[in-house]
Structure 1
Amino acid sequence: MDSEEDDALQQDSTGLPAAPPVQQFYRPTKEVTLKTISLAEMLTSNHAIWQPEDFSYESPQEPTRSLFPESDVSWNRVQQPPEISASLNSVQPQQTELHKHQRTPQSPTPELIVSLIREMLTKQEMILDQQQSILRILNAKQPQDTDYVIDHGLLPVKDLLALNTLEQKLRAVDFKEKLINHLGLVGGFDTKDTVWRTMHRTISNDLAKSINWRGVNGKISLAALQIKDVVIDAVRKNVFSSTATNSEIENVMKRWLHLASDRDGGRKRRQKE
């Protein structure tokens, strides 16, 4: 009491109101009651094993929240631009159909098999018709064996008389075409080789000595003969010289005529003389 009075006097001296007395509060504790149960009662009865009620604990459960609104608004009904909504509506049925086919594969029906066989047979007949048409075109363009055959001993031309006879026969279109086909079989690995072989098959080297391109110095002009055109067309029959120009072929022909005196040992004879 003395201390309380002293405190009151000190507070009065400071001019402050007196502090209220301190009250002590006691929290009531819940008594834990134990109920003894015998072992026999535990085994024969439905009593559960005792657990302290103060220590029971329930885990808090958070309320589950639905991803969709409770007003039964579906995902497709969410406000979206009309373009996106239309694309979603068109894609979903396609995906459903795709999964349906993947999950439940169906074997082809007999009607489907028959229709496929008919379609294959129709296409096969079309292919056969096209092949026959191509063969007819090729056979029409390809000359027969008789178109290559000429009289024996006609070529190479050995003298002026045989050359004049050949020029007269070349006035006939059929004979000229036959001679072109015949000389076209000579072949060669390039334009020069083909022209060289064709000229050697057409004109003998002795007659070539009296022929030049323009007919100067009293010689025969090859440019004025029909055999010149035959040689040019025959050279183009070869695959390796089919694109050769007239100028390229004529230059080789001129060179072949110019070297006629050097062939068959003519150069060696001149060197000895």
Structure 2
Amino acid sequence: MEKLEKMDMKINHLTSLVQSITGNRLSLPQMDVAEEEESGVFPLASIADLDMLEEKLAEKGFMQRMVNRLSLSGGPNMKKTVWRICFKVFTTDVARQLNWCGRGGKKGLGKTNFGALLISSAIRNPVLLSPTEAEAEKFVKDFLRLAPGRI
């Protein structure tokens, strides 16, 4: 019975992978002017850039396009997924000025649209069997906490 359950979970997982892959191939829209402008957003070079992006993320359509763009980073597990997204989004200097809660004179991401963007993008990875917000949040915190050690 346990083997059947495991097999069923694997089949469901593979089915979702196939559906996401075929869905992505069939519906690749042409980039319009707005999307071309969005492609130059990352990596964020300063906290001012982050603040400007935070304002834009209040618009639901823009937020969804950014989630779609960042979710393509993928990874075999949640840690790799989150770290790939964060390396794409932040320069090391910006990451050093951030943390999740906003303690120590740093800017906090936890209750911002930008924090929600990072979490939503990581959770959309179809390879992950059961992604959780808590797991994604943990790895974002780790990425930011370890930023001062990067060159």
- Length-normalised TM-score, structure 1: 0.43
Work out which structure has the larger RCO, using CA pairs closer than 8 Å and 6 or more positions apart in sequence: 2
Cα deviation code 1:14-73 (max 9, x no counterpart): xxxxxxxxxxxxxxxxxxxxxxxxxxxxxxxxxxxxxxxxxxxxxxxxxxxxxxxxxxxx
1:176 alignment partner, one of 38, 58, 63:
63
CA separation in 2, counterparts of 1:242 and 1:253?
A: 19
Does the 8 Å contact 1:235/1:242 carry over to 2? Answer: no
Change (3 A) 1:145 1:193: farther
Cα deviation code 1:208-235 (max 9, x no counterpart): 1111111111110110221111111111
CA separation in 2, counterparts of 1:166 and 1:255?
A: 22
Question: What secondary structure is seen at the aligned counterpart in 2 of 1:178?
Answer: helix
How far residue 205 of structure 1 moved from its aligned partner, in angstroms, is 1.2
Aligned equivalent of 1:159: 46
Tell me the amino acid that sits aligned with residue 136 of structure 2. I
How far residue 142 of structure 1 moved from its aligned partner, in angstroms, is 5.0
Does the 8 Å contact 2:123/2:132 carry over to 1? Answer: no
How far residue 149 of structure 1 moved from its aligned partner, in angstroms, is 3.6
Task: Please tell me whether residue 189 in structure 1 is matched to residue 76 in structure 2.
Answer: yes
How far residue 184 of structure 1 moved from its aligned partner, in angstroms, is 0.9
Greater Rg over alpha carbons, structure = 1
- List runs of 5+ in structure 1 lacking aligned partners: 1-137, 265-273
- List runs of 5+ in structure 2 lacking aligned partners: 1-22
Tell me the amino acid that sits aligned with residue 156 of structure 1. P
- Equivalent pairs: percent with the same residue? 30
Question: What secondary structure is seen at the aligned counterpart in 2 of 1:224?
Answer: coil
Cα deviation code 1:122-143 (max 9, x no counterpart): xxxxxxxxxxxxxxxx69x956
CA separation in 1, counterparts of 2:64 and 2:101?
A: 25
CA separation in 2, counterparts of 1:239 and 1:145?
A: 23
Task: Please tell me whether residue 226 in structure 1 is matched to residue 98 in structure 2.
Answer: no
Does the 8 Å contact 2:44/2:91 carry over to 1? Answer: yes
Does the 8 Å contact 2:123/2:133 carry over to 1? Answer: no
How far residue 240 of structure 1 moved from its aligned partner, in angstroms, is 2.1
Change (3 A) 1:153 1:146: closer
Aligned equivalent of 1:203: 90
CA separation in 2, counterparts of 1:143 and 1:153?
A: 19
Task: Please tell me whether residue 213 in structure 1 is matched to residue 100 in structure 2.
Answer: yes
Aligned residues: 126
How far residue 153 of structure 1 moved from its aligned partner, in angstroms, is 2.5
Normalized per residue, the structure richer in helix is 2
Aligned equivalent of 1:257: 144
2:135 alignment partner, one of 248, 256, 261:
248
